[in-house]
Structure 1
Amino acid sequence: MEPSVTTSDIAQLQKLVAEFSSHGDDYVFTHLTGADRLISNQPVQPIRISGMAWILVIKGSFQINLNLDPVAVEAGSVVILMPDTIISEREVTPDIDAYLLMLSPEFMRTINIDPNVMMTLPTATIHEYKPVLPLSAKEQELMKSYFELIHHNTLSNPDGMYVKSIARNLMSAMIYQMVQFVVKHIKVLGLEPIVADRPRSRRSTYVKDFMLLLKKFHKQERSVSFYAQQLYITTKYLSNIVKEATGRSAAQWIDEFVILEAKNLLRFSGKTIKQVSYELNFSNQSAFGKYFKLITGMSPSEYIHS
């Protein structure tokens, strides 16, 4: 299993970067430039981000693997890293100029975001989100202002009674602004956002809860019926609403989560195929091998050496 990186780990960058601030384990801000000593083009071992993070790229670019998929990040974009994102292998240009803000899961839960606002995005966009969002020059400046306000609030009020509350509200505003940017880009792509003041439908709630359950239980449970039972609905109904909302069936989502976890364990954990099989709750190595080959077209051993 890849190591999990927390805000406390990111705080270790303080001696390596020109600009840094943090509030306990709640959140960390860093300003990364090509002059910083941590910038390197050496591949990094896979890590799992425990909280949520944003990287605003002002200049330069970098290549990175997110959940084993290669992603190119260019200047003028923001990277949105959801909790439990797996990051590996990087290539950074010498002229990189970027801001990083990472929030702990505990602090994220204290930020008040109206769920109906989040549902202005099509469900498929929420669950198949693109981690890199291009920004216009004005949008970049606005996002940079949020990052700097959070940073200066922390530096200016190290022992302030309200520093955490101020940061929480700034981050809430930044998230709303980010949603506004996403909605704008969705319209450019010809997709229609949901009306903001429309209450979330029961179907949307089921789909969202299914994804949350899948994230939590995919190592132990691979049957659609298990998730349907947790939601107190029928297997057929769950399959239909997930397919309708995301364009993919519930079974396909389950397979994707399991295979992503399997690939990461096989290639980076140092565990044997047998150990991975048991960690993913297969009855034996043979059953795991058949499942893996059916989905990927190659055996676990072939994948390890590919």
Structure 2
Amino acid sequence: MREPKFIDMRELNIDLIRAKHPYGFNIESDLVLYDQTTGLPVLSETSKMKCLLLAICTDGQIEYTVDTEVHKVVANDILIVSEGQVMGDYKIAPGSKGVCLFLSYDFFQEIVSNVKELSTLFLFARRHPVFHAENRLVKELITYIQAVKLKMLDLDHEFRRELVATMLKVLIYDMCNVIYRVQQVEKTGKTRGETIFADFIHMVEKEYKSERRVSWYAEQLYISPKYLSETIKHVSKRTPSEWIDYYVMMEIRVLLKNSKMSIKQIAEEMNFPNQSFLGKYFKDRYGKSPSQFRRS
């Protein structure tokens, strides 16, 4: 019997978004922002996200699917679409307005480095791709995003990219605060799987520099590696190893770009046997050597 033939789904990254909708405000391949002055981009094809989408609707109605589930967005709704999710079936009502930011995977990781409770944000975004916020909070977020845009337009600023990254970190904390308020109102209890996921992520956030074995984390949680893997995959659509790699790679990239540590020192800091092991680990997952990434 012939094996079924699968067609690769288009992956949506910052460069593709800019090519399709060049009127947005951008910082190279890291970030692109659209607002009332540019209009919202209309994405015509179902795509797998290779970036993060943060958006706020200020007027009108937008309909789309995330992982085949239909979602409707109206005024004062906030939507978050994570890297790896599939978006499609877009319908934007005439006159709809809002603001949206697309952040590259690497830029987002750089921004959220050391942001606590990232697992809570991730779980909420998976369970609530769209959530409603108070008008006052939405106005505050919009005002802040406009301030970010002004800094993006300041092309003569020597530290423009770093400044925007810092401002976006503040924005993410503000959005986390909105999420916290929504959670307090709903008081939605976690499932057993979500509790395991949150406990696992909290542990990874503390131990990823010294421990990368899935079996070790399973032992600390008093469950089998198989059950941990199945649970994490079901809740987050990623394996435990992928989550561990996420934190390890995020830290390595931050150290390569923002410290004067040698690659040998970074290998020691991250508990790799030697520089060669670090180099292979990094290249296998990123496609570049640590030296190439540092120079890029």
TM-score (norm 1): 0.60
- 1:2–1:91 CA distance, 2 compared to 1 (3 A): same
Closer, same or farther: CA 240–185 of 1 in aligned 2, 3 Å:
farther
Q: Percent identity between the aligned chains?
A: 10
Bigger RCO of structures 1 and 2 (CA < 8 A, at least 6 apart): 1
Residue number in structure 1 paired with 2:30: 26
Kindly indicate whether residue 10 of structure 2 is the aligned counterpart of residue 3 of structure 1: yes
In the alignment, does 2:200 pair up with 1:206? yes
Give, in angstroms, the shift of residue 162 of structure 1.
Answer: 1.1
Q: Which residue is 1:290 aligned to?
A: none
After superposition, the Cα gap between the structure-2 partners of 1:70 and 1:165, relative to the gap in structure 1 and judged at 3 Å, is same
Which residue of structure 2 aligns with residue 175 of structure 1?
A: 172
Matched position secondary structure for 1:109: helix
8 Å contact kept, 1:58–1:76: yes
Contact 1:239 1:250 in 2 (8 A): no
Query: How far, CA to CA, are the matches of 1:122 and 1:140 in structure 2?
Result: 18
* Structure 2 residue identity aligned to 1:91: K
Within 2, Cα distance between the matches of 1:39 and 1:251? Answer: 33
Q: Which amino acid aligns with 2:32?
A: V
C-alpha distance in 2 between matches for 1:172 and 1:242: 31
Q: Which of 229, 234, 239 does residue 253 from structure 1 map onto? A: 234
> Which residue in 2 is equivalent to 1:12?
19
- CA positional deviation for 1:228: 5.0
Cα deviation 1:116-137 (Å, max 9, x = unaligned): 3436x499x4474311121111
Residue 143 of structure 1 pairs with residue 147 of structure 2: no
Match for residue 233 of structure 1 among 219, 228, 241: 219
The 5-angstrom pairing of residues 109-124 of structure 1 reads: 109-118=109-118, 121=120
Q: Per-residue CA shift, 1:183-208, capped at 9, x if unaligned?
A: 10111112589xxxxxxx99845256
Equivalent residue, structure 2, for 1:299? none
- Pair 239,72 (structure 1): closer, same or farther in 2 beyond 3 Å: farther
Cα pair 1:63 1:72 within 8 Å, conserved: yes
Shift in Å, 1:145: 1.4
Equivalents in 1 of 2:92, 2:220: separation in Å?
Answer: 48
> Cα offset for 1:233?
3.0
The answer to whether the Cα contact below 8 Å between 2:34 and 2:40 also exists between their aligned partners in 1 is no
CA contact 1:111–1:172 (8 Å) conserved in 2: yes
Contact 2:31 2:101 in 1 (8 A): yes
Instruction: Assess, with a 3 A threshold, how the Cα gap between structure 1 residues 179 and 134 changes in structure 2: closer, same or farther.
Output: same
The answer to whether the aligner puts 1:103 opposite 2:103 as a matched pair is yes
Distance 1:36 1:60, change over 3 A: same
Structure 2 Cα separation of the partners of residues 23 and 37 of structure 1: 18
**Which AA in structure 2 matches 1:189?**
E
Question: What's the offset of the Cα at 1:10?
Answer: 1.6
Deviation for aligned residue 1:168: 0.6
User: Given that residues 203 and 241 in structure 1 are in contact (C-alpha distance below 8 angstroms), is that contact kept between their aligned partners in structure 2?
Assistant: no
Q: Which residue of 2 aligns with 1:52?
A: 52
**Cα distance in structure 1, aligned partners of 2:11 and 2:136:** 35
The 3-state SS of whatever aligns with 2:155 is coil
Equivalents in 1 of 2:67, 2:103: separation in Å?
A: 19
Q: CA deviation at 1:152?
A: 1.1
1:190 to 156, 177, 187: 187
Question: For the residues of structure 2 that align with 1:252 and 1:232, how far apart are their CA atoms?
Answer: 14
Please give the secondary structure, in 1, of the residue aligned with 2:87.
strand
* Equivalent residue pairs, number: 220
Q: Give secondary structure in 1 for the equivalent of 2:223.
A: helix
**Cα distance change, pair 208–130 in 1 and its aligned pair in 2 (3 A):** farther
Please tell me the root mean square deviation across aligned C-alpha atoms, in Å.
3.9
Q: Which amino acid aligns with 1:8?
A: D
Distance 1:240 1:181, change over 3 A: farther
SS at match of 2:79: strand
Give secondary structure in 2 for the equivalent of 1:164: helix
Alpha-carbon distance change, 126 to 242 in structure 1, aligned in 2, over 3 angstroms? farther
